[in-house]
Amino acid sequence: MDFILELPADARGHTGILVFVCRLSKMVRLAAVRKSMTAPQSAQLFVDNVFRHHGLPEAFVSDRDPRFVSHFWQHIFCLLGTRLDMSTADHPQTGGQAERVNRVLEDILRSVCAAEPTKWSTLLPQVEFALNNAVHSSTGFTPFYVNRLRHPRTPLTLPPASSLGGGVANAEDPRGLKGLRTSVKRNLLSFIETGEVVRQRVRDAMAAAQDIHKEQSGRQGRKNTQAVSAVGSTNLRPRFVGPFTVIGVHDHAYTLDLPSSMATHPTFYVGLLKPYRPAGAVEPEEPTASQNIAERHSPSSGRALPTEAGQEREQESEQEHEG
């Protein structure tokens, strides 16, 4: 569980989103909330959006938001027989899942609500469907398929003559009923077997992804993304501004030639920048590993776009060479 707050207020006064993410299937549930939402209200949203569809989870993982550590929630957990696990900051094995969903969710809303930022709450159902119908990198399946072993129908997948009716058995023919029972039993056993196979594959894939994450986190560290400048708030504003000329390279940070009107420090962490490409330029080919290494160690002057602090990006910054 986690919150996305400080969004533009919609017609009903909602300024945030309560995000629920299933640890196994990666299924996402979204609920628009007000900034003044209380612990009882968040508990009611959990019942309305999660409990009635999926039942009670064994445990919750969340940050130390006052709404989640209140006596009300603790009492709910005791009555329902579950537990609340608080995440530890910067720990690779606690939390992080909801934060990753939050970043993707903000990117989607920023794209679809650019013209009308206050309409974001009306698009939450479509955004939730899109997230749950996308293949997750750590499981190899869509959340819909992991939960139900089937993909939902969409307008593009409906056949020309779609029917929800099943076969009709003749009540006066016992052989037909026997054959129908045999077919149903066979399909049920196949469904159960497929479910076990899918769940085991998901667990194996998640374990492998966690091992890789832990190894990379221990080897590279998270680096300091807060000791650099921020440009405005995150919310649904455009992510990048610029372009600006790179005038200095300092290990994992670049210094940009910013106008004095911006009134911000000109040094930014490299993960918060991206190369500038003029509109209408031809998309570059995918660089090879050797090209990435060469470009990463090239201190040539170029242009880059700073993005807002706090938005961690794993891609390395590239620079445009002037010829």
pLDDT of residue 145: 86
Same domain, 244 and 131: no
Q: Are 234 and 308 in contact (CB under 8 A)?
A: yes
Helix 39-46 / helix 71-80 crossing angle, nearest 10 deg: 30
In a domain, 148, yes or no: no
Element (H, E) at 125: helix 124-132
For residue 223, the 8-state DSSP code is -
Q: What is the pTM of this model?
A: 0.53
Classify residue 86 by burial, with Cβ atoms within 10 Å: 0-12, 13-18, 19+.
Answer: middle
**CA nearest to 277, candidates 246, 313, 242:** 242
Q: Find the domain containing 261 and state its range.
A: 224-323
Same domain, 13 and 120: yes
CATH at 69: 3.30.420.10
Give 10-residue mean pLDDT values along the chain (323 residues): 88 91 89 88 87 84 74 73 64 62 87 85 91 86 85 70 45 52 67 74 75 63 46 57 82 81 77 75 48 45 46 42 41
pLDDT of residue 228: 44
C-alpha count within 13 angstroms, C-beta hemisphere, residue 75:
7
Among 113, 135, 157, residue at a domain's last position: 135
In a domain, 13, yes or no: yes
